[in-house]
Structure 1
Amino acid sequence: MDEWWLVFVPDPERWGPLPEAGVLGVRDLPAALDAVGLRPGDPVFVRPDFVLDAELLQFALSPDFRDLKRESRRNYATDIRLLLSWLWRRGVPWRTATIADLRAYKEFRVDSPLNPQRIGGTKWNREAAALTQLYKWAKVSPLPVDVGRRADRSASARSSRVSWLTPRTWGLWQDLGLRGLGRDGAPLPGWDGRTELRNTAFVGLTLSSGLRRQEAGAMLTFELPTRPLRSGRYCRGQVASALSRSKRDRTYYTSIESVRQLGAYSESERAWAIQRAQAEGRYEKLSLMRLVTDVTLGPVPVVHWVERDGTAGRRELSLLDWRERQWLFVEGPHGPEPAWLWLSEQGMPMLPDRWNTVFWQANQRCEEALLTPEEREVPRPLRYGGRSRMRRRIPRVTPWRSTCWSC
């Protein structure tokens, strides 16, 4: 074994049943982690010889690392693990790595033909930022890598390219990728469309409102915009500060048509998913459920709930992040049901990052419908880099970022 292991502390509801005898001699593992100071999402580094690295554990608990957003902490830890494994194979402890070691690592990651999974300059710069933070925390001098040094950054880094689509191309992408229609407008063979309304409603909302994936993806049912403006064409909604990138409440506007799509989804696909989940007892098996008892109105709405054990809780709506929101349930006509708007087929909250898979699959359907078998054999970098005709035919889209209706 020459790979470092990286384990992330799970959220409370994702522990699942633990053996009565405990794990590795620890009877109550969640309580033990809490006593150490580890929180959900924190990384734990384990050496290839299955020894937990205590120094890297202290790094994960340090304020500099803890101040990062959870997704950033996950990305940084993943980048650090790659370096740890690379150094381990060469017999170099990570603390004693030199500038020459890190320059060799950069060359391997970015330029070496011996590396079949080379990365671009932008990705390397992010890795360099993670490694710089580690070595600064460890007070290694001189720093073996410093993202502030020009030699440690990649000269080939470039900002992401955004594609602007015409309404016709955008409509083609929705028909082929989300609605399962062929080029002739007829349903494709084998298309079941079980989540068609959900996916098209999400795209309609983000397209109309300009909401980001997490802002729209973590919306609760009682946050839906319902009151139209005086013109009657748009509704006004509020983005919670805990979901926005600026960490401030923000007003957004969305079209009446997108609100109608949300209503159609809620009354059909969403309702069916909840009925199946209730019939199978999925919600009863959840270890963490907060049943909403009241949502106060006013300038600062507050959500009140009660836990399974009867403990009452409350929190400002704008301060609830997406992890807390997935625990909220409301009393429906046939029992508790999620307050989370977007549900999977199993009736469980569909977390914001799962939308990446939905749109990746949509892009795949576009390829299958628009490319011949011979064209699909062409490697993707060549397909989109050097064949402009083919590039125009296949929209590869991230819906909440890359559409321009003025084109």
Structure 2
Amino acid sequence: MTTGRAPARRTRAHRALRRVAGREAFAPRRGAAHTPRETPERDSSAQRRLSRLNLTMLLPLLATVGAVQIAVDADSRLDAVVLGVGVLAGMVAFVRWAAGDVLGVAVPCLAVSTAVWFYGSVLSDCHSAFYGLLITGVHVVPRLPRRREAGAVALALVVAVIGAGHLLTSGDAAAADLVGYVVVPTGVTVVVTGVMFPNQKFYDVVRELEESREREAELAVVRERMRFASDLHDIQGHTLHVVKLKTALARKLVRADADRAEQELREIHDLVADTIRQTKELAYAQRRLNLSAELENAKNLFEAAGIRVHVDREAEVDPRAGELLGQVLRETTTNILRHARATEVRITLAAAGITIVNDGASGDAPPRFRGLATLRDRLADDGGGLTAERTDGRFLTAASFPRLGGGDTL
């Protein structure tokens, strides 16, 4: 029993759910601190890999170049110590740059490396003393929150002015000194700084892609919650409307036709009991599911989150196993979106089983997913089995019904 107002109510309910879901997707989590753009960036798998790659490939090279320059250019033990301090300041700046928080050590590293260049140019005769300032400056300037171009110009001017100080303090300055203390240091600084600007843009793009992927995954989970809310509305909305009408009818019949009123009350009782049963099934993922529909939904969710999906159909799934396998697929999809940093998911369908493998699984502890534990018990009751394990950064979820598959398991 329905009325013409029910569709309008459902539409309003869906609009409200969308508004709530939208606020939940984009509102900051309670207690989460806002992370400015130029403070330590959000840790992500891509940024961690890039950081490790930079440290592995470039840090030894930069340190070796600095050591060679000290060995060649230092005329005394004091020169070697001072130049070593400059190289150390550059290495600290590089390491913190790779970690994403070079601005935290920018001032002391710049001060130390500038002082070393001043010592090498004005107080000593070490034209390679600008090396520490070069390494520090080219990693700090592109990370400045604003006026980066002005910072690049200021860095080149500092190198040039300090280098020119050697010409002023040296009584026998020649063209070679101009080249060694002004032209070469300033030119190298300008070139390397110019290269670092597009490099920083690359890192910004990587960070934005990671953030976009996380937002897509959150939106996919929100869409799944909306689908759950829609199913709940389908179950309870119609029932409550019918109960309201039957209750009003029973009130009218309670004196005029007691038997009919009693019948209406029995129907109300049965209807409410059935609704409670369906709600429990929905809450514990036991509602009848269509495996094909769940597979299509999982593909859409993964693709929306930027995750590649591969589906292998080794055989047509037995209809008797389809419902429970659909529940396994739905629960696994939710777990991947919420708990993994997956980039690829492979789904394999057999006659009586399903296997889902995803990458991006972190940690070595045994997985603990309450939904999968509940499904494992249900599959065991029906003669099936469910396996969930993590190895080498990959998470495998496999469910099968050996008896339906003629003894073959996944």
Question: What TM-score, normalized to structure 1?
Answer: 0.20
Question: What TM-score, normalized to structure 2?
Answer: 0.20
Report the structure number with the largest CA radius of gyration: 2
